[in-house]
């Protein structure tokens, strides 16, 4: 390798080197998109193994960029799960798309500051435009409504709850109470903790047999709290729980929020995107009544990490909550139609997230997204009927918004619950150890079950069947 042409003191490469470097990066990404389905989705490495590869002191002197790039492509990148792999079923997969990856590359390459209008009018405009698209898709008021792109669903939920508290409680929130179901995502509890609420200000409402918030129990809790002098102020409903895809009764909760004068936040980080399909739209009826709604484009809208989104009925609620006017920002205020997104959320300096959403929608068209989401919902239903016809499998929670939970429970045998838990846990462990599929368990009503989240439009029924066959072969080994 010829001596590097790094202009060290200005942290620059020569134009030729930048090209050599950049083309290799693009080649690596393209190769990954083209061949990821042929790789194994599970990375399996201990801290010790990783330390052996990477542990070193910060280097004082330069190394040729090629040597470092080689380490990145051969050692760092391969040691991660491939969350866009067709057999990556766990948590919420990340089936991203190439066009959006390039958008992120461009946004980073040009280092667009997406905080204020003056710094980047086009970036702010693209965020406004894409936000309007989303407001319309979710039937939120498009004139008054607003929103902001965040790093993910967790930050969107936090931003929503800060806003809810500001609008509803003012400075004294010592008696304020928040309600959510036992299936609500952990990021909501985290947000509540960040906000400084105490444990006794949160009510975890039990769910019914379909994992939806039990409305009667919610009403009881609110009434009791009022009697005890608390101030109910916010209900967080899940529109697609991460565990089972269940949707809380949105219309009923909206009605309660209306009569009780509570903030209605919907966490649709997982399931909100299903609005783009006919079945999802019906299931999500009532979503348009929320005060604030979290969706997570880096999940089921196929964007690369990081991209979450908060939609809000009235954009003024965001600026009321987040505007601060330090002296050094005086000169860049702009007029009120020219939104400074630093006034609408927590971050000042923000990357240009809207670009990837814009580019991918423009390139593929909304129809492609609709088809991909509809395909996933149908795939989960096909998986369900395949499981039901099998003598080995029991469906625990039916296909709902592309999530399905099931367990190995052959009809010919009768195992104790404890034994079934153990078998299904071990099936998952063996699948992971084989690295053939990313399939882990969850716990539903005390049972250990296997869970598939099938939002990847590149996952086929054949992939699913192969994985189930693999599970069955491991189960047979376990039982001999």
Nearest alpha carbon to residue 471 among 429, 443, 442: 429
Any contact of residue 452 with ligand PLP (CB under 6 A)? no
Nearest CA among 312, 48, 300, 378 for reference residue 160: 312
Q: What is the SS3 assignment for 225-255?
A: HHHCCCEEEEEEEEECCCCCCCECCHHHHHH
Draw the binding track, 284-303, toward ligand PLP (x: CB under 6 A; -: no contact): ------------x-------
Per CB under 6 A, does 245 bind ligand PLP?
no
d(CA 397, CA 281): 20
Task: Count how many residues are written for the chain.
Answer: 480
* Sole binder of ligand PLP in the list 104, 127, 248, 267 (CB under 6 A): 267
Task: Give the side-chain half-sphere CA count within 13 A for 441.
Answer: 22
147 counts as binding ligand PLP under rule CB under 6 A? no
Q: How many helices (H) and strands (E) in the chain?
A: 15, 11
Supply the minimum distance, in Å, between the C-beta of residue 189 and ligand PLP. Answer: 11
Q: Considering only 22-30, 55-63, 65-73, 262-270, which stretch makes contact with ligand PLP by CB under 6 A?
A: 262-270
Using the contact rule CB under 6 A, the part of the chain among 22-30, 64-72, 267-275, 323-331 near ligand PLP is 267-275
Which residue minimizes CB distance to ligand PLP? 153
Segment 37 to 56, residues that bind ligand PLP, using CB under 6 A: none
By rule CB under 6 A, what string of x and - marks binding of each residue 155-184 to ligand PLP? --x---------------------------
Q: Please list the helix, strand and coil fractions of the chain in percent, rounded to the nearest 5, in that order.
A: 50, 15, 35
Considering the rule CB under 6 A, would residue 248 count as an interface residue with ligand PLP? no
Distance CA 413, CA 428 (A): 20
Task: Tell me whether residue 207 or residue 409 sits nearer to ligand PLP (CB atom).
Answer: 207
Beta bridge partners of 228: none
CB 13 within 8 A of CB 6: yes
Residues numbered 85-124 forming contacts with ligand PLP, rule: CB under 6 A: 92
x/- binding map, residues 201-240, to ligand PLP, per CB under 6 A? -------------------------------------x--
Rounded alpha-carbon distances, angstroms, from residue 140 to 86, 315, 316, 403? 33, 11, 14, 26
Smaller CB separation from ligand PLP, 97 or 187: 187
Measured CA to CA in angstroms, residue 430 lies from 20, 149, 249, 395 at distances of 42, 39, 38, 21
| CB closer to ligand PLP out of 93 and 116 | 93
Among the listed ranges 159-167, 265-273, 330-338, 399-407, the one in contact with ligand PLP (CB under 6 A) is 265-273
Q: Per CB under 6 A, which region of 124-132, 146-154, 257-265, 339-347 contacts ligand PLP?
A: 146-154
Instruction: Write down the least CB distance from residue 182 to ligand PLP, Å.
Output: 13
- Total residues in contact with ligand PLP, by rule CB under 6 A: 14
Q: Is omega for the bond preceding 463 within 30 degrees of 0, making it cis?
A: no
Taking the complex as a whole, the smallest distance from the CB of residue 186 to ligand PLP amounts, in Å, to 8
Compute the Cα dihedral for 399, 402, 403, 409 and give only its sign.
positive
270 binds ligand PLP (CB under 6 A): yes
Closest to ligand PLP by CB, 420 vs 439, is: 439
CA distance 423 to 409: 9
Q: CB-wise, 392 or 442, nearer to ligand PLP?
A: 442
**296 vs 268: CA distance, rounded Å:** 7
Phi-psi domain of 261 (left: phi exceeds 0; alpha: psi -120 through 50; beta: other) = left
Query: Which residues lie near ligand PLP (CB under 6 A)?
Result: 92, 152-154, 157, 185, 187, 238, 242, 267, 269-270, 296, 308
């Amino acid at each position: 390798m010829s001596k590097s042409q790094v202009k060290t003191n200005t942290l620059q490469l020569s134009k030729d080197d930048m090209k050599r470097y950049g083309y290799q990066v693009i080649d690596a990404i393209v190769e990954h998109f083209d061949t990821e389905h042929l790789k194994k989705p599970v990375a399996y490495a201990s801290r010790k193994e990783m330390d052996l590869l990477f542990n070193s002191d910060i280097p004082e002197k330069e190394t040729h960029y090629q040597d470092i790039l080689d380490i990145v492509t051969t050692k760092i990148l391969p040691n991660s799960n491939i969350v866009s792999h067709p057999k990556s079923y766990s948590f919420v997969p990340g089936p991203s798309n190439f066009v959006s990856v390039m958008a992120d590359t461009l946004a980073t390459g040009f280092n667009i500051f997406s905080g204020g209008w003056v710094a980047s009018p086009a970036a702010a405009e693209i965020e406004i435009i894409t936000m309007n698209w989303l407001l319309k898709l979710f039937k939120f008021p498009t004139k008054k409504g607003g929103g902001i792109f965040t790093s993910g669903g967790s930050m969107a939920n936090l931003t929503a709850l800060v806003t809810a508290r500001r609008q509803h409680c003012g400075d004294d929130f010592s008696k304020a109470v928040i309600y959510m179901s036992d299936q609500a995502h952990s990021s909501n509890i985290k947000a509540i903790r960040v906000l400084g609420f105490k444990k006794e200000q949160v009510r975890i409402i039990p769910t019914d047999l379909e994992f939806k918030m039990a409305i009667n129990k919610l009403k009881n809790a609110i009434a009791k709290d009022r009697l005890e002098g608390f101030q109910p102020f916010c209900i967080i409903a899940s529109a697609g729980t991460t565990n089972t895809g269940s949707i809380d009764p949105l219309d009923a909760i909206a009605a309660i929020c209306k009569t009780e004068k509570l903030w209605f936040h919907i966490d649709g980080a997982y399931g909100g995107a299903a609005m783009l399909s006919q079945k999802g739209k019906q299931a999500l009826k009532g979503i348009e009544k929320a005060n604030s709604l979290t969706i997570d484009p880096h999940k089921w809208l196929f964007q690369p990490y990081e991209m979450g989104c908060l939609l809000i009925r009235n954009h003024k609620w965001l600026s009321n909550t987040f505007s601060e006017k330090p002296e050094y920002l005086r000169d860049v205020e702009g007029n009120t139609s020219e939104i400074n997104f630093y006034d609408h959320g927590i971050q000042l300096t923000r990357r240009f997230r809207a670009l990837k959403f814009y580019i991918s929608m423009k390139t593929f068209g909304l129809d492609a997204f609709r088809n991909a989401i509809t395909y996933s919902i149908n795939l989960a239903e096909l998986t369900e009927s395949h499981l039901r016809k099998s003598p080995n499998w029991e469906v625990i929670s039916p296909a709902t918004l592309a999530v399905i939970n099931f367990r190995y429970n052959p009809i010919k045998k009768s195992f104790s619950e404890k034994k079934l838990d153990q078998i299904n846990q071990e099936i998952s462990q063996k699948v992971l150890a084989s690295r053939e599929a990313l399939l882990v368990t969850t716990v539903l009503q005390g049972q250990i079950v296997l869970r598939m989240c099938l939002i990847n439009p590149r996952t086929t029924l054949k992939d699913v069947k192969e994985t189930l066959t693999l599970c069955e072969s491991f189960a047979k080994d376990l039982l001999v």
